[in-house]
A and B are shown apart, each in its own frame.
Chain A
């Protein structure tokens, strides 16, 4: 308290109050947390598809992990075909996806499919691949998790509200380098929880949901 009576905190306060006033005048009826809602719409749409197909029983309370079975080899060696994985739908409620995260997301062009890829770039980053080596903002990534290819492409600038994803199995992955493009954050279902086995997750055994990357 004493320290708040002088110093930079006092100079910061009017700036914050100004922002607050601006919010009050411009957004008296702003819906809460639009991004969150967008993700839930996507999650519900995906859940609806699986329910229709009859492969999943009710998906439970809002924070329950979503469970999937990997059917594509695009994320090997990190995710093996046939592996059950849990996806945390609350992971990005207040945090943005970060580089290195593995995310599950829907692809509007392939209704009902859920893809899983690694976030390589976030909004504002410049991503480039040179002979299989990936550079983000000019810095080479050390990627012990990936099996690399020899591709060269980019540079791509990651758009606001999007992430740039790649499969860990570079030679055999359709991802942001190709037709899949950058992934809008609103299409993200959640973070893939690595190392979550059925013993870790207090969940019934994962239902046999079939998902696949195109």
Chain B
């Protein structure tokens, strides 16, 4: 099998389940880390990972490689899902229902996810500060400051204009600054 790039794989995945499977295996670990940074228990990680991928499949026709890369796109789907409590809850319920019967985590799997949580650990006061942000600012702030996307990637991921993203990010940083002492925040304030 020749190595298709992520974007081609995700486009092909609309019609080709093998392409989807390849894409999924390549990036499920990234989504697990994304979820671990937003979760406090292994069960939460599982629910969120499942919810994000269900949403990815539901939106797969909308991926447009001209607008951005595939991985920021799936993280954007995740961030948008997290920004909407109702939608996230609905997706997680759906995921939990459909994984029923196979949902209990094996002990070693539990341990593995706990290691993911430890590795992803964000200080509780930082998480709390993010929680105070309005959802639209929180999504862009988390994608850039926590997940490490560039502001441009994050704006493409969220489907907003880069200038809108920069404004939201600047606003978010001002608010985060007011709550926590986080020196890194000052380093990359966009013009």
Contacts and interface: CB of A to CB of B under 8 A. Distances in A.
Given A11-B99, A95-B80, A16 B86 contact: no
A17 B20 contact: yes
A120 interface: no
Interface string A3-41: 110111101110111011101100100101100000000
B61 A4 contact: no
A23 B49 contact: no
B117 to A, nearest CB: 14
A38 to B, nearest CB: 14
A56 to B, nearest CB: 19
Interface string B42-55: 00001001100110
Contact of A94 (B29, B109, B158, B171): B158
B136 interface: yes
Nearest to A15: B98
A95 B61 contact: no
B87 interface: yes
Main secondary structure of the interface of A (DSSP, over half): loop
A88 B161 contact: yes
B76 interface: yes
Interface in B83-113: 83-84, 86-87, 90, 95, 98-99, 102, 105-106, 109, 112
Nearest to B94: A15
A141 interface: no
B58 to A, nearest CB: 7
Contacts of B15: 24
Nearest to A31: B61
A90 B164 contact: yes
A1 B109 contact: no
Interface in A50-94: 63, 65, 88, 90-91, 93-94
Contact of A122 (B86, B109, B164): B86
B84 A8 contact: no
Contacts of B136: 91, 95, 98, 101, 191
Contact of A96 (B84, B112, B171): B84
B77 interface: yes
A44 interface: no
Contacts of A95: 80, 83-84, 135-136, 139, 158-160
Of the listed residues A6, A12, A17, A33, the one surrounded by the most CB atoms of chain B closer than 10 A to its CB is: A12
22 contacts: A1-B25, A1-B26, A3-B112, A7-B106, A8-B49, A9-B28, A12-B53, A19-B54, A20-B17, A23-B14, A24-B15, A32-B61, A63-B161, A94-B59, A95-B83, A95-B136, A95-B158, A95-B160, A98-B83, A101-B136, A122-B86, A125-B86
Interface of A: 1, 3-4, 6-9, 11-13, 15-17, 19-21, 23-24, 27, 30, 32-33, 63, 65, 88, 90-91, 93-96, 98-101, 122-125, 191, 193, 195-196, 200-202
Interface of B: 13-15, 17, 20-21, 24-26, 28-29, 32, 46, 49-50, 53-54, 57-62, 76-77, 80, 83-84, 86-87, 90, 95, 98-99, 102, 105-106, 109, 112, 134-136, 139, 158-161, 163-164, 167, 171
